[in-house]
Structure 1
Amino acid sequence: MKDLSDKALFALVQDHDERAFAVLLERHSGLVYDLVYKRTRDDDDTKDILQDIFISLWNNREKIRIEESIYPYLHRSAKYAVIDLAIKNQRVTAYQSLLAKQDEPFCHPAETGLIASELQQQYEQEVARMPGTMQQIFRLSRDQQLSAREIALQLQISEQTVRNNITLALKKLRLSLGSDQLIVLLPLSLYISSALAVN
């Protein structure tokens, strides 16, 4: 399978072939990592972007059209992801600068702790609202750090069902809490290489 072209591999990916996807991931993840890292100079940011790019590739595989190589698509995705990160960082820097100019600290330590507690409570409420299977999968993934394969074996469901539920759960949380809050509450410990592990 490793001898197949990107076009042939992606045709298999569009037929839900995870092994073909793993080959594409192995073939291009290093190049995309280097491309993003040259602009972010941050390993964690780069891994987060890499994860998002390949998750998006898998989730949108049926809509994506490629000519010969998948790399131009990955290059464009990386470019826009880096731009989005830069905009976000500029907003954070501007906010921190504004707080630094205040005569009084914006939040006293007690207030900061209260805000963190309320945010955690809101997060738990949102998780509790998830459908039963989605909630169970999400908690196994994020709280117990189980891989997609381990969860699938434990619940006797497919790995793709596990990944789909995790993606939907994160989407729900982003809509209700926002990405910035999730960064605090959910350090991204699951990367593509573990989530899509293939023996």
Structure 2
Amino acid sequence: MKELPDKTLFTLVQDHDERAFAVLLERYSRRMYDLVYKRTRDDDDTKDILQDIFISFWNNRDKIRIEDSIYPYLHRSAKYAVIDLAIRNQRVSAYQNLLAKQDEPFIHPAENSLIADELKLQYEREVARMPGTMQQIFRLSRDQHLSAREIAAQLQLSEQTVRNNITLALKKLRLSIGSDQLIVLLPLSLYISSALTVN
């Protein structure tokens, strides 16, 4: 079985063949580890990312489509996961910075809640001011966590149009609210989509 090409093994995986999955896992684990570790420089983070990638690969095997090799799929998954990790770390740092910028070292929980509510209200006002199509795309991405491809299919737009609108929406929000506050409010998927348009 180890000599079988990826496509044949993947067909077996789609038929719930765990041995074929184990062969693919063995075939790509080292290569994927090296790829991810170059970005994270952390053994634990790298192993966690790889575990998530391969679990997702198995759980979504019926939805995945490959041509000849599964490596492009794994590579994309690794890219998203590394960006996801970086943004999670950035969100923690941003939130800590927000707390550090408070004038008083300790704020009553009720006051904290009022600050958070005001921030959310400002955010919703800015989203409501966006043009119709931009607002619709942004809400689908934020609230339903749809990918650019899924939004494009639903709204009958090009994927690039969807990505452009998400990027413009984020720019508007950054200008009006600020990056530190915004990153605390938004799901990671939006930042991933925005980062991918740069590459």
Q: TM-score, normalization: structure 1?
A: 0.51
Q: Where does structure 1 differ by over 4 angstroms across 4 or more consecutive aligned residues?
A: none
**1:94 aligned residue:** 94
Q: Distance in 1 between matches of 2:101 and 2:30?
A: 42
Q: In structure 2, what is the Cα distance between the partners aligned to 1:80 and 1:25?
A: 19
Q: In the TM superposition, what are the counterparts of 1:16-165 in structure 2 within 5 Å?
A: 16-102=16-102, 103-104=104-105
Q: What amino acid sits opposite 1:20 in the alignment?
A: A
Higher helix share: 2
Distance in 2 (CA, whole Å) between partners of 1:13 and 1:26 is 14
- Greater shift, 40-49 or 18-27, is seen at 40-49
* Superposed CA RMSD: 2.1
Could you tell me which runs of 5 or more consecutive residues in structure 2 were left unpaired when the two chains were aligned: 109-199
Decide whether aligned partners of structure 1 residues 50 and 105 sit closer, same or farther in structure 2, where only a CA change above 3 A counts. Answer: farther
Instruction: Indicate how the Cα distance of structure 1 residues 86 and 106 shifts in structure 2: closer, same or farther if over 3 A, else same.
Output: farther
CA separation of 1:11 and 1:106: change in aligned 2, threshold 3 A: farther
Q: CA deviation at 1:100?
A: 3.0
**Matched position secondary structure for 1:4:** coil
Mapped partners of 1:41, 1:99: distance in 2: 28
Compute the displacement of 1:98 (Å): 2.4
Q: Which residue of 2 aligns with 1:12?
A: 12
Q: Tell me, yes or no, if the aligned pair for 1:40 and 1:82 is still in contact at 8 Å.
A: yes
Residues 105 and 27 (structure 1), Cα distance of their counterparts in 2 relative to 1, 3 Å cut = farther
Contact 1:99 1:105 in 2 (8 A): no
Q: In 2, Cα distance between the equivalents of 1:55 and 1:97? A: 34
- Using a 3 Å threshold, how does the CA distance of structure 1 residues 21 and 106 change in structure 2: closer, same or farther? farther
Question: Where does structure 1 lack aligned partners over 5 or more consecutive residues?
Answer: 108-199
* Distance across 1 between alignment mates of 2:19 and 2:107: 51
Share of identical aligned residues, percent? 82
Q: Which amino acid aligns with 1:30?
A: R
Q: Go from structure 1 to structure 2 and tell me whether the alpha carbon gap of 1:27 and 1:96 turns closer, same or farther (over 3 Å shift).
A: same
**Cα distance in structure 1, aligned partners of 2:101 and 2:11:** 55
Give per-residue Cα distances to partners, 1:100-125, cap 9 Å, x unaligned. Answer: 34442579xxxxxxxxxxxxxxxxxx
* Distance (Å, rounded) in 2 between the aligned partners of 1:68 and 1:52: 23
> Aligned partners of 2:35 and 2:83: how far apart in 1?
13
CA distance in 2, matches of 1:52, 1:106: 38
